[in-house]
Amino acid sequence: MGNHVGNKVVLIGAGDVGVAYAFALVNQGTVDHLAIIDIDEKKLAGNVMDLNHGVVWAPSRTRVTKGTYADCADAAMVVICAGAAQKPGETRLQLVDKNVNIMNSIVSDVMANGFDGIFLVASNPVDLLTYAVWKASGLPHERVIGSGTILDSARYRYMLSEMDDIAPTSVHAYIIGEHGDSELPVVSSANIGGVSLSHRSEEDPGYNERIEKIFEDTRDAAYTIIDAKGSTSYGIGMGLARITRAVIQNQAVVLPVSAYLQGQYGVEDAYIGTPAVIDRSGINKVVELALDEHEKERFRASYETLNKIKTEIFG
């Protein structure tokens, strides 16, 4: 991760997701300094003050400040939560094109101030925008991470755990592919407490149907939450804090993120959701899961969904 040994983080974008991330980060005491940049400076000042007042109860002191791009010079990570929302009548391609331009502008300002750390991108569509950040930054691909399917996988694990009334930490399962409608569950390698879902389906004829319903609920959870409260924020905020902790503390843990593929799963030159080893270097290694034939087909289709738009935007 460049030459930095500190744990300062710069957050760009203090909307619902950015503030939820900041709140989670301060509560966990992962970093010494969190500098936040946002175009709404009045609201930002209020959020910074509010967060600092809660540091008293955090496990360690985090200094939260209103940041500028100059803060990127000695930052270990820059976390991007900024971006435009889709407007009525606007196509997905138009939204992607607009957000790519926003990413290019942000990255230009970050790199102009001597940033030499790791980017973490949460702005949507995250796989394509992570690719845009990587291209614009000129950094090695392992130092640009997207939030990918970290939230989708967390939702899936939670819903599976509710079925058996056990802790989600005892559920080992991944959602991979696009962070979006074409994502897929890797049922073939999923297990609950060491017992594979495949084994359980052999013993219970109705099990596969329940598992598929859980995946559908996982995939559509964002729509349900947005319909109820306008946006998703807490789950992804905590997921971003988890990735940050893995980097800052050099944990070398496997997390489902948007990572750059170079032949894994038969895919080249794309950021897409997959498990990867996350440590101080960023993405240390992509973990290529052993997929069954049906999963391979679905992953390929998910990649093609992303690649079609990527080709139109980036050529």
Secondary structure of 170-193 as H, E, C letters: HEECCEEECCCCCCEECHHHCEEC
Is 105 marked as a binding-site residue? yes
User: Minimal CA–CA distance to 139: which of 113, 106, 115, 112?
Assistant: 115
CB 34 within 8 A of CB 26: yes
How is residue 117 annotated by DSSP?
A: S
Is 208 marked as a binding-site residue? no
Is 43 marked as a binding-site residue? yes
Is 92 marked as a binding-site residue? yes
Is 16 marked as a binding-site residue? yes
Is 228 marked as a binding-site residue? no
Is 172 marked as a binding-site residue? yes
User: Minimal CA–CA distance to 121: which of 80, 156, 86, 91?
Assistant: 80
Is 17 marked as a binding-site residue? yes
Known catalytic residue: 179?
yes
DSSP 51-88: HHHTGGGSSS--EEEE--GGGGGG-SEEEE---PPPPT
Is the bond leading into 125 cis (omega within 30 degrees of zero)?
A: yes
User: Minimal CA–CA distance to 196: which of 204, 186, 188, 207?
Assistant: 188
Is 50 marked as a binding-site residue? no
Given the residues 53, 179, 199, 294, select the one marked as catalytic: 179
Is 193 marked as a binding-site residue? no
Q: Residues annotated in the binding site for NAD(+), as ranges?
A: 13-18, 38, 43, 69, 83-84, 99, 105, 122-124, 147
- What residue numbers does the annotated binding site for substrate cover? 86, 92, 124-127, 152-155, 232
Active site amino acids: 179
Binding residues: 13-18, 38, 43, 69, 83-84, 86, 92, 99, 105, 122-127, 147, 152-155, 157, 172, 232
